């Protein structure tokens, strides 16, 4: 089978490998669609993310849809929690101390034709959806988890600082949770236009929000979030900074008595994400602006690195239900 492996900074190559053999608790999955995430770009451009560094050639890709050997279309949760550590037992598998995550560290991801993955991590994709929708369930899950942590209530005003795919999903999810006004910042005009299409309006200094979501991974967005949120409000940090540091003016956060929360992936979100899409409350398909084949993997990463469009998806194999 073909697999795309990252050998060093910017050096991703197609290689031929054996098809993996599933264990008794796994299914063999034919990968159909894989979305490229900002964290994939960290690996591609920096050969690592945070304190995790590239130690051996790595298959990236954790926004995954595929087909089981029995013909069932599935979305794949990329996080394999142990179920035994304290966070897992406390209901926080996203904080698992022995977590294995697709396309991270020494755990290969899904930019390859087949993966063997635990059955417990597979979610059936309804017939009304295709694999493009399926690979968007993971980033939508991030947005759902962030909105949960933000404790959005009906009538709230929300700020979203950074309108890449995650920010655009936070906008829609916050609206579905009851937010009535959503104010945003975004330097790229095409992403600001997408945010406005979903009903958001540009934020101006001095405008106050109840909850602020930082989705850019840059300190300027963090500072704007702190400036915008009301005294006693919540700030959710979702973005991953390039240099593994987040800096902000402490006096502002302290005097406002802010609660600052960091969003660690997601938990128990796939069924809810599917319902939001089926009910028309969240539009994921319009976020997919670029599609590439696996043998175009270099072009796919180059496009995503330039922040062209919104979401780049690699179509590893064909799903007959795909349209457009």
Mean pLDDT across the chain, nearest whole number? 96
**Do 128 and 160 share a domain, yes or no?**
no
Residue 273: inside a domain: no
**Do 132 and 149 share a domain, yes or no?**
no
Residue 321: inside a domain: no
Residue 319 pLDDT grade (very low, low, confident, very high; cuts 50, 70, 90): confident
**Do 36 and 116 share a domain, yes or no?**
yes
- Beta strands 26-35 and 114-118 are antiparallel
Q: What percent of the chain has pLDDT above 70?
A: 98
Q: What is the C-alpha to C-alpha distance for residues 81 and 101, in angstroms, rounded to an integer? A: 9
Residue 242: inside a domain: yes
Residue 320 pLDDT grade (very low, low, confident, very high; cuts 50, 70, 90): low
What CATH number has the domain bearing residue 291? 3.90.180.10
Torsion (CA) 14, 285, 197, 184 in degrees, nearest 10: -60
Residue 101: inside a domain: yes
Which whole-number Å values give the CA distances from 216 to 167, 229, 231, 238, in the listed order? 8, 16, 22, 8
pLDDT value at 316 more than 60:
yes
Query: Could you tell me the pTM of the whole model?
Result: 0.96
Please, which residues have CB within 8 angstroms of residue 156's CB and are 6 or more apart in sequence? Answer: 178, 179, 180, 210, 211
Residue 108: inside a domain: yes
Residue-wise pLDDT tens digits, 105-129: 999 999 999 999 999 999 999 999 9
**Do 206 and 311 share a domain, yes or no?**
no
Residue 274: inside a domain: no
**Do 24 and 112 share a domain, yes or no?**
yes
**Do 194 and 242 share a domain, yes or no?**
yes
3-state class (DSSP) for residue 135: helix
* pLDDT of amino acid 323: 47
Residue 324 pLDDT grade (very low, low, confident, very high; cuts 50, 70, 90): very low
Please give the residue range of the domain that contains residue 114: 2-136+284-315
Q: What is the C-alpha to C-alpha distance for residues 237 and 191, in angstroms, rounded to an integer? A: 19
Q: What is the C-alpha to C-alpha distance for residues 165 and 179, in angstroms, rounded to an integer? A: 19
**Do 131 and 150 share a domain, yes or no?**
no
**Do 57 and 27 share a domain, yes or no?**
yes
**Do 115 and 21 share a domain, yes or no?**
yes
Residue 177: inside a domain: yes
Strands (E) in 69-108, as ranges, are 73-76, 79-80, 100-101
pLDDT value at 143 more than 50:
yes
* pLDDT of amino acid 322: 57
User: Are 198 and 206 within 8 A, CB to CB?
Assistant: no
**Do 163 and 57 share a domain, yes or no?**
no
Please give the backbone phi and psi of residue 304, each rounded to the nearest 5 degrees, phi first.
-65, -40
Partnered with residue 160 across adjacent β-strands are: 184, 213
Residue 222: inside a domain: yes
215-241: average pLDDT = 97
**Do 164 and 245 share a domain, yes or no?**
yes
Residue-wise pLDDT tens digits, 56-110: 999 999 999 999 999 999 999 999 999 999 999 999 999 999 999 999 999 999 9
pLDDT value at 321 more than 80:
no
Query: How many structural domains compose the chain?
Result: 2
**Do 12 and 132 share a domain, yes or no?**
yes
What CATH number has the domain bearing residue 145? 3.40.50.720
């Amino acid at each position: 089978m073909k697999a795309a492996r990252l050998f060093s900074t910017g050096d991703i190559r197609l290689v031929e490998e054996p098809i993996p053999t599933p264990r008794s608790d796994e299914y063999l999955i034919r990968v159909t669609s894989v979305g490229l995430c900002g964290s994939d770009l960290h690996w591609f451009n920096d050969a690592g993310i945070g304190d995790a560094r590239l130690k051996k050639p790595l298959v990236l890709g954790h926004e995954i849809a595929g087909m089981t050997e029995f013909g069932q279309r599935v979305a794949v949760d990329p996080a394999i929690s142990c179920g035994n550590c304290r966070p897992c037992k406390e209901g926080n598998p996203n904080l698992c101390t022995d977590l294995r995550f697709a396309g991270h560290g020494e755990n290969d991801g899904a930019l390859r034709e087949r993966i063997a993955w635990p059955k417990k991590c597979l979610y059936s994709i309804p017939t009304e959806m295709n694999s493009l929708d399926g690979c968007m369930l993971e980033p939508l899950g991030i947005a759902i988890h962030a909105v949960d942590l933000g404790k959005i209530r009906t009538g709230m005003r929300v700020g979203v600082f950074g309108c890449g795919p995650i920010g655009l999903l936070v906008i829609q999810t916050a609206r579905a949770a009851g937010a009535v006004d959503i104010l945003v910042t975004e330097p790229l005009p095409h992403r600001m236009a997408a945010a406005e299409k979903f009903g958001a309006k540009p934020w101006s200094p001095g405008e106050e929000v109840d909850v602020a979501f930082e989705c850019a991974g840059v300190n300027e967005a963090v500072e704007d979030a702190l400036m915008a949120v009301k005294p006693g409000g919540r700030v959710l940090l979702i973005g991953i900074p390039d240099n593994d540091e987040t800096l902000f003016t402490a006096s502002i956060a302290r005097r406002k008595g802010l609660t600052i929360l960091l969003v660690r992936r997601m938990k128990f979100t796939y069924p809810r994400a599917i319902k939001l899409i089926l009910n028309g409350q969240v539009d994921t398909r319009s976020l997919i602006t670029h599609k590439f084949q696996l043998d175009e993997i270099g072009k796919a990463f180059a496009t995503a690195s330039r922040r062209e469009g919104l979401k780049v998806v690699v179509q590893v194999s064909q799903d007959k239900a795909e349209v457009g």
